[in-house]
Structure 1
Amino acid sequence: MTVSRPVPTTNARLDVAGELLALLADVSTEPRPDTQLDALTLAVAADLPVLLWGEPGIGKTAALTQLADSLDLPLTTVIASVHEPSDFSGLPIIGDDPATQGVPMAPPDWAVRLVRAGRGLLFLDELSTAPPAVQAALLRVVLERRVGTLRLPPGVRIVAAANPRSSAADGWELSPPLANRFVHLRWTHDHDVVVRGLGGTWPRATLPVLDPQKLPGAVAFARRAVCTLLAARPKLVHQLPNTETRRGGAWPSPRSWEMALRLIAFATAAGADRDVLSQLVRGTVGDGAGFELLTSIDRMDLPDPEVLLAEPAAAELPQRGDLRQAVLDAVVAAVRKRPERSRWDAAWELLVKAVETGAPDLVVVPATTLATLRRDDWVVPAAIEQLATVVSVSQRADRAAARVVVEVGR
């Protein structure tokens, strides 16, 4: 006798499908070095609006969802491109006595929910497909944190996402006033992160740990870093780019320099990685001004050449090649400024130490310059013999390279 099995009802089938979907959504997180995620969380901690730039499908929305979960913040997503300007500036409603009280601007429901919660992550998606009128309405939301008559509470953080115009559906360039209010971060995918995430484990977003003892020093360091650069390069205070595309990104202005100063202070207090600071600084004032600021910060930590000349045996030279080159050049410049036999000998001792602890080619130019500073009554130190081979080999290599260029050009 054949026993027939009962056919599952439609609801039962959907319940099983729901169980499978729940299993697929059951993922975990782990602490994992991730520069772009660290940059995002630091900017969120600094309460600065962030704009993530990336191709469609790169995982910007998923990253924000995971960020909100990790920080235990309710996520409110607003698709900017499908809203009208009044959705951000407020909808006019008739009050009891418009002639006396005027016409109030009622905020949308998502803004009311954020105010009631007192905290949250406001995610403005598809910003580059929002028309100029909507972008203009968003200015007040991003800068003043106002939506209609409501002011978003301090516990609300703002993050936006956009696709480059080349890959956006009916995309627009961001208006310069709106673009200059964001920290711009390039969002790319990491193969290892994606593979491990699809396997069920994604990187965990954690807010930076700020050292209370470092706060006053971090603020002083940030102010000195920005002010030192701008005092020497006044043209960098405000540089509106000359192309529409670049105006829609990061560029230097008093507003963006203030944001850069805040990020430097937060990064210093948190002991953030230099790559994280680099992304944040360049995402605030642009690549050109950002690189100049980072270089200026690096040089702020360089040892004083006078200290090195006073005790060359105890000197510690930077490991990075560009910083070591800057230190050696500064030492030679100090000797040129005040040429004395003892200082000249100390400089040679430092160059020998540089050869013994790093790339020899870095000393070629400083050694050549230092040799020209010798006075007739100064005895050539024995240290020069240790450098003679390095300098002569480098010069022969330069001459050989020059001959190759000439022969190729014939």
Structure 2
Amino acid sequence: MPTYLQCAPVPERAPVSQLEIAGDLLTLINESTTEPRPDIQLEALTLAVSADLPVLLWGEPGIGKTAALTQLAESLDLPLTTVIASVHEPSDFSGLPIIGDDPAEQGVPMAPPDWAVRLVRAGRGLLFLDELSTAPPAVQAALLRVVLERRIGALQLPPGVRIVAAANPRSSAADGWELSPPLANRFVHLQWTHDHEVVIRGLGGTWPRATLPRLVPERFTDAVAFARRAVCELLAARPNLVHQIPTSETRRGGAWPSPRSWDMTLRLIAFATASGSSRDVLSLLIRGTVGDGPGFELLSSIDRMDLVDPETLLADPSAADLPERGDLRQAVLDGVVAAVRRRPEKSRWDAAWAVLVEAVETGAPDLVVVPATTLATLRRDNWEVPASIEQLAGMISVSQGADRAAARVAAKVGR
């Protein structure tokens, strides 16, 4: 009698729900790649993170602050821990008191929240404090030790943890508060704006890649010396900039100069110098630490640190290598004339004219008008006029005539 094999019935496949199908479409939409692309905002952020300084990103809602931090954490391979400051109590940052077996003997320890414990266990990570401008004053006060000392209750965050925060301007924040001056002065403030080309390319599936700056160990000693010299020379000349709390409440919630923020600035200059960062990146970081006014003064002072010594130019005018930027070139020429005024000698006076001729031949002639006019007033009676002055006389006459004509036009328009 034949034997028939009995096969188990094939189970029917459960029908795919529309939500599962929608999930596949969402996965496809969310897929994206990254590419190396110059982005001074992103470079400034990564440089400050590398320097282990707390950063605060300011920007309107929907500008991409949270997305930038998520992508930064992925690029740096750091676990991201997001804490919405406005929905937490002060005790979530200062610690919850836990009574032990013998409080009189052992005290009452302050237990940290679970997110802080996870960061300590991981030993590294990116702590993202979001919606900082909606945190009430009591919560901001509790955040002071978190931001500066990296302590939550009795727990010390490990060195591998970096802190970045984000905030909306008070006018755009839900029930927003101005940042308290003590908390604001602990951050590097970066204004986060959108670049339409970056947004368009990102929506097309490719976003800029965040990478830590490449620090060159051979530059470290010179970078630190340069940073110390830059900050100390400015503050020696402008002592009122050492500590200057703004008068308005809004400005006190941003970047302003203090010994703490100047120390942060020094660190950022050293890191930027050691990594070869651009002046635009350095400008964002300096102004985001001590404010726009002091920041621009420091940047101008740094520019002048690299200028050639006027005495070098007077010693060999034929080898003059003048800056291309107009303001720096003007500063060099003014320095040459000032050097002659301090030690007026016929040879130095002649050399200064040679430098001015070089400036006319290699750049904008109008920059020479004021230095040449001033240099002419330094002539002594027994000094012969050098032939080089004839090369400048026509230019100065034309420039002065143009100035007088412009003044006459302006006077007519103002009537």
TM-score (structure 1 length as normaliser):
0.96
Change (3 A) 1:99 1:366: same
- Equivalent residues in 2 for 1:354-393 (5 A)? 354-393=359-398
Q: Which runs of 5+ in 2 are unaligned?
A: 1-11
Q: Is 1:198 equivalent to 2:203 in the alignment?
A: yes
Residue 399 of structure 1 aligns to which amino acid in structure 2?
A: R
Q: Distance in 1 between matches of 2:96 and 2:27?
A: 39
Matched with 1:320 is: 325
Separation (CA, whole Å) in 1 of partners of 2:303 and 2:224: 17
Tell me, in whole angstroms, the C-alpha distance in 1 between the residues paired with 2:395 and 2:25: 68
Pairwise mapping of residues 222-371 of structure 1 onto structure 2 (< 5 A)?
222-371=227-376
**Identical residues among aligned pairs (%):** 83
Q: Distance in 1 between matches of 2:250 and 2:95?
A: 30
What's the secondary structure of 1:207's corresponding residue?
Answer: coil
Determine the C-alpha separation between the residues in 2 that align with 1:400 and 1:281. 41
Count residues with an aligned counterpart. 404
Residue 67 of structure 2 is matched in structure 1 by: 62
In 2: Cα distance, 1:387 partner to 1:154 partner = 62
- Structure-2 residue corresponding to 1:37: 42
TM-fit CA distance, 1:7: 11
Amino acid at match of 2:321: E
1:157 alignment partner, one of 152, 162, 171: 162
Task: Give the secondary-structure state (helix, strand or coil) at the position aligned to 2:81.
Answer: strand
- Which one of 171, 175, 188 corresponds to residue 180 of structure 2? 175
The aligned counterpart of 1:21 is 26
Structure 1: how far apart are the matches of 2:341 and 2:185?
Answer: 44
Q: Residue type matched to 1:68 in 2?
A: A
SS of corresponding position for 1:72: coil
d(CA) in 1 for partners of 2:188 and 2:170?
Answer: 18
What's the counterpart of residue 220 of structure 2?
215
Match of 2:101 among 96, 101, 110: 96
Which residue of the other structure, out of 145, 150, 159, is the alignment partner of 2:150? Answer: 145
The C-alpha deviation readout for 1:5-56, integer Å capped at 9, x for no partner, is x9984x5333222222221221111111101110000000000000000000
Counterpart residue identity of residue 370, structure 2: V
Question: Could you tell me which residue of structure 2 aligns to residue 130 of structure 1?
Answer: 135
Please name the residue that 1:185 is paired with.
190
Which residue of 2 is the match for residue 3 of structure 1?
Answer: none
- What amino acid is the match of 2:409? V
Q: Measure the CA separation in 1 of the matches of 2:36 and 2:60.
A: 25
Aligned alpha-carbon RMSD (Å): 1.3
What's 2:3 paired with?
Answer: none
Other structure's SS at 1:165 match: coil
* Cα distance in structure 2, aligned partners of 1:131 and 1:157: 23
TM-superposed CA distance for 1:396, in Å, is 1.1
Amino acid at match of 1:289: P
Deviations 1:93-128 (A, max 9, x none): 221222322222111111011000000000000000
Amino acid at match of 1:282: R
Alpha-carbon distance in structure 1 between the residues aligned to 2:247 and 2:333:
38
Larger radius of gyration: 2
Report what 2:81 is aligned to: 76
Please identify runs of 4+ aligned residues in structure 1 that moved more than 3 A.
6-9
CA deviation after TM superposition for structure 1 residue 289, in Å:
0.8
Quick one: which amino acid aligns to residue 165 of structure 1? R
Q: State the shift of 1:376 in Å.
A: 2.2
- Partner in structure 2 of residue 402 of structure 1: 407
The separation in 1 between residues aligned to 2:395 and 2:414, in whole angstroms, is 29
- Alpha-carbon offset, residue 73 of structure 1: 0.5
Q: Secondary structure at the match of 2:171?
A: helix
Q: Distance in 1 between matches of 2:167 and 2:362?
A: 47
Could you report, residue by residue, the CA deviation over 1:108-149 in whole angstroms, capped at 9, with x for unpaired residues? 111011000000000000000100000000001001100111
Query: Any gaps of 5 or more consecutive residues in structure 1?
Result: 1-5
Separation in 2, partners of 1:96, 1:24: 55
Task: Indicate the SS of the match to 2:43.
Answer: helix
Matched to 2:128, the amino acid is F
> For the residues of structure 1 that align with 2:305 and 2:136, how far apart are their CA atoms?
44
- The separation in 2 between residues aligned to 1:50 and 1:200, in whole angstroms, is 27
Please give the TM-score of this superposition, normalised by the length of structure 2: 0.95
